[in-house]
């Protein structure tokens, strides 16, 4: 019978010490919505499980000086329901509300979703559009990594074996900023995205951010499309045409594959159509 050794730290310092002590034979468990499945399927059998559920303050959501930070244990349900997130970063609230079932959202954590590094992760698509940072801690100290540089491939990150995600943060968009999130799947709930988009638009600065999930080995930003929009929006005499051009250019950020959920061709079509829809919604409609 599988019987791992459990560690129950009460602080972040105790947690990273336990992770370092466990070494390669250990795994961190928080909500357990992914790890428990892998253990049940016998894909993983860690000798040590470091349970973060008792770590004090690790689930807090704080806002100060226009910046919001989520502790690594903040759940999708808590983020989706947070009034300031809903008001100023609605795409993240919508993305977290799209994660799995109500039970999964009440247990699954933002830190776990980021650490899993799935190219289809709902919250990560929104966080990429928000230029979020990932706060990381180990017994060697703390570092902060922009989310764009955190992912290396499906399930692969820059996180070392003795490191723990302690928070995710970003500057809140301005009061006039608009955002957009959409996930396309084979049904309306409990579905992995065929393609997802997270987008933001600040009318005051004419800046736009476009991020996509399930179209590459990691969540990606359509930076060339963003640059085209920002360079021409202020002087454009045909903004609907510009939106179409930006949508066509966004396709270049994608390198989709064929799989059981959709073809690469269909995903490419979705990138263009979702980009156009997001920009029309945020920029062309009053």
CB 163 within 8 A of CB 150: no
Q: Which long-range contacts (CB under 8 A, 24 or more apart) does 157-162 make?
A: 157/115, 157/117, 159/115, 161/19, 161/23, 161/24, 162/16, 162/19, 162/20, 162/23, 162/138
Task: Among 3.30.200.20, 3.30.43.10, 3.10.129.10, 3.40.50.880, name the CATH number for the domain at 5-51.
Answer: 3.30.43.10
Does 119 score more than 70 pLDDT? yes
Q: For position 190, what pLDDT does the model report?
A: 64
Identify the band that residue 32 occupies on the pLDDT scale cut at 50, 70 and 90: confident
The 8-class DSSP code of residue 139 comes to T
CATH code for the structural domain at 61-171: 3.30.465.10
Does 230 score more than 90 pLDDT? yes
Does 48 score more than 70 pLDDT? yes
Q: For position 243, what pLDDT does the model report?
A: 98
Does 9 score more than 80 pLDDT? yes
Domain 178-284 CATH class label = alpha beta
Classify strands 26-29 and 48-51 as parallel, antiparallel or unpaired.
Answer: parallel
Q: For position 100, what pLDDT does the model report?
A: 84
Does 286 score more than 90 pLDDT? no
Beta strands in 156-219 (DSSP E): 156-157, 164-171, 178-184, 195-202, 207-213
Task: Return d(Cα 215, Cα 141) in angstroms, integer.
Answer: 34
The 8-class DSSP code of residue 272 comes to H
Tens digit of each residue's pLDDT (9 = 90 or more) over 139-151: 999 999 999 999 9
Which of 36-40, 158-162, 229-233 is least confident?
A: 36-40
Q: For position 35, what pLDDT does the model report?
A: 86
Helix (H, G, I), strand (E, B) or coil at 222: coil
Does 189 score more than 70 pLDDT? no
Q: For position 217, what pLDDT does the model report?
A: 96
Does 70 score more than 70 pLDDT? yes
Identify the band that residue 64 occupies on the pLDDT scale cut at 50, 70 and 90: very high
Q: For position 168, what pLDDT does the model report?
A: 98
Q: For position 101, what pLDDT does the model report?
A: 86
Q: What is the mean pLDDT of residues 192-220?
A: 96
Does 39 score more than 90 pLDDT? no
Identify the band that residue 36 occupies on the pLDDT scale cut at 50, 70 and 90: confident
Q: For position 56, what pLDDT does the model report?
A: 86
Tens digit of each residue's pLDDT (9 = 90 or more) over 236-253: 999 999 999 999 999 999
Tens digit of each residue's pLDDT (9 = 90 or more) over 255-274: 999 998 899 999 999 999 99
Residue ranges covered by each domain of the chain: 5-51, 61-171, 178-284
């Amino acid at each position: 019978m599988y019987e791992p050794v459990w560690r129950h730290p009460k602080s972040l310092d105790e947690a990273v010490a336990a992770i370092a002590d466990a070494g390669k034979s250990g795994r961190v468990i928080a909500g357990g919505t992914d790890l428990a499945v892998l253990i049940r399927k016998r894909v993983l059998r860690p000798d040590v499980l470091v349970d973060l559920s008792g770590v004090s303050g690790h689930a807090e959501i704080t806002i100060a000086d226009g910046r919001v930070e989520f502790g690594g244990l903040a759940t999708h349900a808590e983020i989706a329901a947070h009034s300031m997130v809903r008001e100023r970063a609605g795409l993240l609230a919508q993305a977290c509300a799209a994660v799995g079932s109500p039970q999964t959202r009440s247990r699954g954590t933002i830190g776990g979703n980021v650490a899993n590094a799935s190219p289809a992760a709902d919250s990560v698509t929104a966080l990429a559009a928000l230029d979020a940072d990932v706060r990381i801690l180990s017994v060697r100290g703390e570092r902060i990594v922009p989310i764009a540089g955190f992912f290396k491939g499906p399930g692969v990150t820059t996180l070392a074996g003795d490191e723990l995600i302690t928070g995710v943060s970003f500057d809140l968009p301005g009061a006039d900023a608009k955002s957009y999130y959409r996930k396309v799947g084979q049904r309306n709930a409990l579905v992995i995205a065929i393609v997802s988009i997270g987008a933001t638009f600040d009318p005051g600065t004419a800046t736009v951010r476009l991020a996509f999930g399930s179209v590459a080995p990691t969540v990606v930003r359509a930076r060339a499309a963003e640059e085209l929009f920002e360079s021409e929006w202020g002087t454009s005499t045909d903004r609907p045409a510009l939106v179409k051009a930006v949508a066509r250019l966004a396709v270049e950020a994608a390198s989709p594959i064929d799989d059981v959920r959709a073809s690469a061709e269909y995903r490419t079509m979705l990138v263009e159509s979702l980009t156009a829809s997001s920009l029309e919604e945020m920029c062309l409609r009053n």
